[in-house]
């Protein structure tokens, strides 16, 4: 700790103050019965001019950096009052954190901001050097420990496969064909590869099928349950994704958005000159004209819906809040995983979001599933199944396994709806297509966005991702492209299938 003046003359006061701190502020909050040794204490100290050097040791109950912050406050106040000395700066020259890991790591583990990470068996020694007080005050040391534990846990999940447990199966049903509908549709001019990666241009027949799927979802599922439509913007600022976990979970799948540094045409003149002369975009000049990204394109719609209620107190009569968005398209950098219309970089999704008490959401889930069953059985006549899977909010926060609540009747969790795609092979051996999901996430997002009810009800939330490309891919893979073979209830809602535009 650095003070505003030479403090070599204050040794006696320091001796008294530090002993007092050891007995009081550094022990505060220890659970009853725990030895004071398990708190935090100064074990040695010395003074050199304006600097007070301290060696501090703690047990698991008061973390040493927390102790240092308390001590700074205590010494700052007392020395200020009694000797008119100001405490200028707190730096941890060296900070060693020892803790146990959930398992022995399967490989090397590293982390930024650390001077060293030493692991022996399940014991981890994290060494930090020259830590500024702002870093500890923001809770970053605690998050380093959490992150290390998380990384070791993630190593344990690797290659283990995801959690999957069947709930119900509707089938088998007759398959009309076993072709890949996207290839067949491309041959018939129903769609065309988009101008950028992983996107498609849907021509009239396919656009009509997709819009029919959308109408079915809205009219047969959402409106009858009382969902109300909202329209959200496409751009998601980073702070929203930091709250939801996406910024840690899927930063490698996000399309990032940069703003121009300026709209002043004069600043863009050189860029425009180059385009005019070369018919190419001068990337280096463009780079200088853009700000670093500060947002991303919609990945899923729920984060912005939660943001829209951030910090608000909602009238009790509103619960459960039932809303849905179908305005924001989802963009994801799928890279090598792209295939057909079922795994694309831009897709059309309807996302209902629900916020209410745990009981309300449990009941709502049953009613939602009932409406979905009606659509997939009575209208689309699909062969499909439903299974509990790793909750998306863990997956998109970078976790891949574990943490499902089986003993809890799955109050929280994610269920996937999967369809058999005959072109991929047999029912038993091929991978089925997740065409939508449904989750209850507990209070994770209501807490993260500080959403409250008038009378302090316990608030949970959840969402369901209705992927229109996936509904369509599942339907066409099972039913083919000949409307003569499509189920009557679907045809009724489709009307006449428009012709595509003939090109030569
Ligand atoms: P997958 O495991 O197939 O990548 P996901 O777990 O990433 O899916 P979620 O984020 O849970 O998907 O999104 C919910 C729904 O969004 C999916 O059920 C699906 O309908 C749709 N979806 C997700 N990714 C894509 C994609 N790349 N192309 C088309 N639809 C998608
Ligand atoms: Zn969601
Ligand atoms: Mg995915």
DSSP string, 42-101: EEEEEEETTEEEEEEEE-SSS-HHHHHHHHHHHHHHHHHHHH---EEE-EEEEEEEEEE-
β-strands 123-132, 87-89 pairing: unpaired
pLDDT of residue 360: 97
Select which of 229, 434, 443, 493 is catalytic.
434
Contact 148, 127 (CB under 8 A): no
| Buried b or exposed e, range 104-139, using 16+ CB within 10 angstroms | ebeeebeeeebeebebeeeebebebeebebebbeee
Q: How far is the CA of 147 from the centre of ligand 2 (A)?
A: 24
Would you say the CB of residue 443 lies under 6 angstroms from ligand 1? no
Q: How far is the CA of 348 from the centre of ligand 2 (A)?
A: 14
Q: How far is the CA of 175 from the centre of ligand 1 (A)?
A: 24
DSSP-based three-state secondary structure for 420: coil
37 catalytic per annotation: no
pLDDT of residue 155: 84
Angstrom distances, CA of residue 385 to CA of 167, 171, 348: 7, 8, 22
- Rounded-to-integer distance, Cα 476 and Cα 470, Å: 10
Gap between the terminal Cα atoms of the chain: 80
pLDDT of residue 403: 46
By the 10 Å C-beta count (0-12 exposed, 13-18 middle, 19+ buried), 475 is classed as buried
Select which of 180, 325, 463, 469 is catalytic.
463
By the 10 Å C-beta count (0-12 exposed, 13-18 middle, 19+ buried), 140 is classed as middle
- Rounded-to-integer distance, Cα 157 and Cα 180, Å: 33
Would you say the CB of residue 249 lies under 6 angstroms from ligand 1? no
Closest ligand to C-alpha of residue 400 is 1
Would you say the CB of residue 434 lies under 6 angstroms from ligand 1? yes
What phi and psi values does residue 149 have, to the nearest 5 degrees? -60, -45
pLDDT of residue 197: 87
Select which of 153, 346, 351, 383 is catalytic.
351
Task: Specify whether the backbone of 398 is left (phi greater than 0), alpha (psi in -120 to 50) or beta.
Answer: left
What is the SS3 assignment for 350-368? EEEEEEECHHHHHHHHHHH
pLDDT of residue 399: 52
Q: What is the pLDDT along the chain (504 residues), one digit of tens a residue?
A: 999 999 999 999 999 999 999 999 999 988 888 887 788 999 999 999 999 999 999 988 899 999 999 999 999 999 999 999 999 999 999 999 999 999 999 889 999 999 999 999 999 999 999 999 999 999 999 999 999 999 998 888 776 677 899 999 999 999 999 999 999 999 999 999 999 989 999 999 999 999 999 999 999 999 999 999 999 999 999 999 999 999 999 999 999 999 999 999 999 999 999 999 999 999 999 999 999 999 999 999 999 999 999 999 999 999 999 999 999 999 999 998 899 999 999 999 999 999 999 999 999 999 999 999 999 999 999 999 999 998 766 665 555 444 444 545 578 999 999 999 999 999 999 999 999 999 999 999 999 999 999 999 999 999 999 999 999 999 999 999 999 999 999 999 999 999 999 888
Q: How far is the CA of 93 from the centre of ligand 3 (A)?
A: 43
Strands (E), 156-279: 164-170, 191-193, 200-202, 228-230, 235-237, 256-257
Contact 485, 479 (CB under 8 A): yes
124 catalytic per annotation: no
Handedness of CA 63, 65, 69, 74 (dihedral sign): positive
Q: How far is the CA of 418 from the centre of ligand 1 (A)?
A: 11
- Rounded-to-integer distance, Cα 479 and Cα 475, Å: 6
State the CB neighbour count (10 A cutoff) for residue 12: 8
Q: Ligand 1, closest atom to CA 396?
A: 10
Would you say the CB of residue 461 lies under 6 angstroms from ligand 1? no
DSSP-based three-state secondary structure for 139: coil
Contact 233, 294 (CB under 8 A): no
Contact 111, 117 (CB under 8 A): yes
Contact 127, 115 (CB under 8 A): yes
Q: Ligand 1, closest atom to CA 433?
A: 3
Q: Ligand 1, closest atom to CA 471?
A: 20
Would you say the CB of residue 417 lies under 6 angstroms from ligand 1? no
pLDDT of residue 395: 62
Q: Which two tokens stand for residue 471?
A: 């509904």
pLDDT of residue 51: 97
Please name the residue whose Cα sits nearest to atom 26 of ligand 1.
Answer: 343
């Amino acid at each position: 700790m650095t003070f505003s003046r030479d403090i070599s003359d204050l040794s006696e006061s320091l001796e008294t103050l530090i002993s007092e701190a050891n007995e009081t502020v550094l022990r505060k909050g220890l659970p009853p019965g725990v030895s004071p040794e398990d708190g935090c204490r100064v074990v040695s100290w010395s003074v050199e001019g304006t600097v007070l050097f301290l060696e501090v040791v703690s047990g698991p109950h008061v973390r040493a950096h927390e102790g240092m912050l308390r001590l700074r406050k205590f010494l700052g106040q007392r020395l200020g009052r009694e000797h008119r000395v100001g405490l200028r700066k707190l730096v941890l020259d060296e900070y060693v954190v020892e803790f146990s890991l959930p398992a022995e790591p399967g490989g090397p583990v590293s982390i930024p901001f650390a001077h060293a990470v030493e692991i022996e068996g399940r014991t981890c020694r994290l060494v930090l050097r020259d830590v500024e007080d702002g870093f500890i005050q923001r809770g970053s040391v605690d998050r380093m420990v959490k992150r290390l534990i998380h990384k070791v846990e993630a190593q344990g999940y690797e290659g283990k496969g995801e959690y999957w447990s069947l709930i119900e199966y509707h089938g088998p049903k007759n398959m009309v064909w076993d072709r890949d509908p996207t290839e067949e549709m491309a041959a018939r001019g129903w769609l065309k590869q988009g101008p950028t990666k992983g996107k498609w241009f849907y021509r009239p027949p396919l656009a009509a099928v997709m819009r029919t799927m959308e109408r079915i979802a809205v009219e047969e599922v959402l409106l009858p349950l009382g969902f109300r439509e909202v329209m959200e913007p496409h751009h998601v600022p980073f702070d929203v994704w930091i709250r939801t976990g996406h910024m840690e979970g899927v930063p490698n799948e996000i399309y990032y958005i940069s703003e121009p540094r300026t709209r002043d045409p004069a600043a863009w003149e050189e860029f425009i000159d180059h385009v005019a002369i070369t018919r190419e975009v001068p990337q280096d000049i463009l780079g200088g004209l853009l700000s670093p990204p500060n947002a991303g394109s919609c990945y899923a719609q729920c984060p912005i819906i939660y943001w829209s209620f951030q910090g608000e107190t909602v009238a009790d009569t509103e619960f459960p809040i039932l809303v849905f968005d179908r305005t924001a398209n989802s963009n994801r950098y799928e890279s090598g995983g792209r295939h057909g219309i079922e795994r694309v970089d831009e897709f059309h999704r309807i996302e209902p979001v629900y916020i209410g008490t745990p009981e309300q959401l449990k009941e709502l889930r049953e009613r939602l599933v009932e409406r979905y069953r009606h659509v997939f059985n009575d209208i689309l006549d699909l062969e499909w199944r439903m299974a509990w899977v790793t909750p998306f909010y863990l997956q998109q926060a970078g976790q891949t396994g574990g943490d499902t609540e089986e003993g809890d009747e799955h109050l929280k969790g994610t269920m996937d709806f999967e369809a058999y795609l005959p072109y991929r092979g047999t029912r038993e051996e091929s991978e089925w297509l997740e065409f939508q999901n449904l989750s209850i996430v507990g209070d994770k997002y209501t807490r993260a966005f500080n959403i409250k009810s008038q009378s302090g009800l316990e608030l949970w939330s959840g969402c369901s991702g209705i992927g229109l490309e996936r509904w369509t891919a599942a339907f066409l893979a099972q039913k083919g492209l000949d409307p003569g073979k499509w189920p009557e209830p679907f045809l009724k809602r489709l009307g006449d299938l428009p012709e595509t535009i003939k090109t030569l």
